[in-house]
Structure 1
């Protein structure tokens, strides 16, 4: 296909430009430091997986599976999907590689791109980057509390302002069966006021009605019975222990009895961090416990807990939703050169870089020395060395004037 128009990036994607790349690298560095210090190890799973993994693991009734997945058939007529979330792939990897034989729980963290066909807007892209953790092999409440505390610590270290933690519990599927029947009956009673979407999945996933933006549905759900009032005894005890551990760690939270998430595999603890700096798209990261997910993809019963945090959301929250000012790169030494002296200038720049200095070499052949010196000013160069027919000369630095050789010029740049 050919044409004369300008080629642009697909809607819902964006280029990571150098300044943003540096901020992302800082997020990754802090994640490695904080999560690694707590015993979490890095894992990377494929960007595409068998579609069945998400259909079974995420849930056939979810918007993710029904509307948002990028699914395609390969040349072997296999249905594959670009990963829309991280947990299912990590759980599949744990099962496939026999990680149950390792000391439990197994603690993993990941970082990478994910894909959902959503309405693109600021802070919500169709290709987005996510940082996450998964802890597999323990149902202890301390696993839940630790995961929440770690995300709280990371967001705090990154300077995300106006953080709020919403906390809830879904109980276990068996423990909430009685409540589910109660909620379904309530929704049927008010069915004429619900959105078509909510009506269509009353039997599949009635709890998702709490997540609806439809005005009539929201009015109905304001009077709906709440799961936290109907938790089974052991589910209530688990939730109470998580809260006690968070209290002990000094992490403030708001109990939200209407909190649900868009994936079917969650059970017991649910949480979400929001930042008021983001406005309507306030979610920064969240997750919860998913003790039944391993069984859904064909493995033995294995408890799990995890969360995901959106990198684009974190970066937006850091700046209050505004585009940040471009960052200046350090420049220890700027090498300018007169016509015909590019080779010795290049050799000096290379030697200085190998010696650990941040070096810039002017690479515009038509630019004269005066123009190069102006470029050095804009780069914030601490030291400028000129290479011309007279040899090497420190133009700016602690000791200005001629120097004997490259070694002396590097010493001058070190100050």
Structure 2
């Protein structure tokens, strides 16, 4: 009986995994420059965490979570997003008591949502995210947005669109909520069952509905920007002023609400405008979540963050045909001829690796021609040939595959020779 990979998941094979490593290395380097530190949380958490933070009325909680009972009859859920777990850790480990605030964190790892698989959307996917918790300064909003834009810029992406909005504070959202109910209620029977249920529970979620997004009432729905109080307006104006100050271009979209209940004030998405990228253009989403720390049992600690899918990042890179600066080559392949030379090649490869070089040898007992072909396939910068004569004379023949030159090198000088040649080039 054959066993296949579960639907909505994928194997990241050699040749592809290097792309993931490249993106992760860029993201981590940018976080280092912004002084964000890595946090690692469990892949599964208590189900209640996501119900309380993400929201009972969201598609994630209602339809998409992978939830199970353990042997102690505790309800656990594979994490569908990263913010809730980071905030839970922030509270549980009393990071709000640290001297330096806000606490700046980043994470990366697999998330799980039971969705219909399609291009760029998987049931297991990998997110990279950032959270800054402990400040309500609008400058930190601009910093977080600038951080993700720097990651995309460093990777070589250019066809991007940053969309922002303000969801306002609790007072502003209450007034907007009432306006949305008045707007949709007379014709709510024309909407899907989910929207009908959300009308009274959380009418803001109607604006995020994928089924009814083309309904006429969606186009004329009340804008949150018309219901912002003076404090919320001033906050949003400050955020946009800081973005202007650092030269980050953006578009204000009053219909941008994001799909999670914990957002307030600043909300944003980064979209790809690359030709042929696909119908789902969102690369990254984020926003401010004042109140979430208190909701999970901590003190008042306002926060803001974002997360992006590495799968969609890679798709955007390929849509823009950005060259991957990934070194796929090998420093040295050792061709060994004869039993004694093969035995010596085992320690010789180890010596090269210990010296910091990537090295390989033949493990299939192949002839010289086949070993040379293997060296070519692995794009070896140098091919070193060790036969019985070379072994007797304590030397090895080294071919520079780029220059086409060939030298005789003492065996105990091979690592230094290769490093010197590589540094010269």
* Shared fold, TM over 0.5: yes
Q: CA deviation at 1:229?
A: 1.2
Partner SS for 1:280: coil
Which whole-Å CA distance do the structure 1 matches of 2:187 and 2:57 have between them? 21
CA contact (8 A) 1:131 1:311 kept: yes
2:253 corresponds to 1:250:
no
Which whole-Å CA distance do the structure 1 matches of 2:135 and 2:76 have between them? 31
Deviations 1:66-97 (A, max 9, x none): 00000000011100000001111111111111
- Out of 5, 23, 27, the residue aligned to residue 27 of structure 1 is 23
Partner SS for 1:174: helix
Q: CA deviation at 1:325?
A: 8.8
Partner SS for 1:203: helix
Deviates more, 1:83-92 or 1:288-297: 288-297
Q: CA deviation at 1:378?
A: 2.4
What is the aligned partner in structure 1 of residue 118 from structure 2?
121
2:80 corresponds to 1:75:
no
Structure 1 residues 15 and 208, CA, compared in 2 at 3 Å: closer, same or farther? same
2:95 corresponds to 1:99:
yes
Which whole-Å CA distance do the structure 1 matches of 2:298 and 2:326 have between them? 48
2:411 corresponds to 1:406:
yes
Q: CA deviation at 1:299?
A: 2.4
Q: CA deviation at 1:323?
A: 12
Measured on the aligned residues, the alpha-carbon RMSD in Å equals 2.0
CA contact (8 A) 1:194 1:217 kept: no
Which whole-Å CA distance do the structure 2 matches of 1:370 and 1:413 have between them? 23
Q: CA deviation at 1:336?
A: 0.5
2:197 corresponds to 1:200:
yes
1:257-276 pair list within 5 angstroms: 257-276=254-273
Q: CA deviation at 1:412?
A: 4.1
- Out of 6, 11, 28, the residue aligned to residue 7 of structure 2 is 11
Q: CA deviation at 1:316?
A: 0.9
Q: CA deviation at 1:175?
A: 2.2
Structure 1 residues 321 and 60, CA, compared in 2 at 3 Å: closer, same or farther? farther
Structure 1 unaligned blocks of 5 or more: none
Structure 1 residues 411 and 106, CA, compared in 2 at 3 Å: closer, same or farther? closer
CA contact (8 A) 1:193 1:216 kept: no
Structure 1 residues 145 and 323, CA, compared in 2 at 3 Å: closer, same or farther? closer
- Out of 386, 392, 397, the residue aligned to residue 394 of structure 1 is 397
Deviates more, 1:205-214 or 1:48-57: 205-214
Partner SS for 1:19: coil
Partner SS for 2:397: strand
1:219-298 pair list within 5 angstroms: 219-277=216-274, 278-298=277-297
CA contact (8 A) 1:382 1:413 kept: no
TM-score by length of 2: 0.92
Which whole-Å CA distance do the structure 1 matches of 2:4 and 2:322 have between them? 21
CA contact (8 A) 1:195 1:217 kept: no
Structure 1 residues 257 and 219, CA, compared in 2 at 3 Å: closer, same or farther? same
CA contact (8 A) 1:290 1:303 kept: yes
Q: CA deviation at 1:235?
A: 0.5
Deviations 1:106-150 (A, max 9, x none): 111111111100111121111110111111111111111110011
Structure 2 unaligned blocks of 5 or more: none
Which whole-Å CA distance do the structure 2 matches of 1:145 and 1:296 have between them? 25
Deviations 1:301-356 (A, max 9, x none): 22111110111110111011889999662222210011313111112211122222
What is the aligned partner in structure 1 of residue 47 from structure 2?
51
Deviates more, 1:293-302 or 1:83-92: 293-302
Which whole-Å CA distance do the structure 1 matches of 2:234 and 2:324 have between them? 48
Deviations 1:17-52 (A, max 9, x none): 122221222222222221121121111111110000
- Out of 125, 146, 163, the residue aligned to residue 166 of structure 1 is 163
Partner SS for 1:351: helix
1:208-219 pair list within 5 angstroms: 208-215=205-212, 218-219=215-216
Q: CA deviation at 1:190?
A: 1.9
CA contact (8 A) 2:288 2:303 kept: yes
Matched residue count: 409
Structure 1 residues 279 and 354, CA, compared in 2 at 3 Å: closer, same or farther? same
Partner SS for 2:201: coil
Structure 1 residues 167 and 325, CA, compared in 2 at 3 Å: closer, same or farther? closer
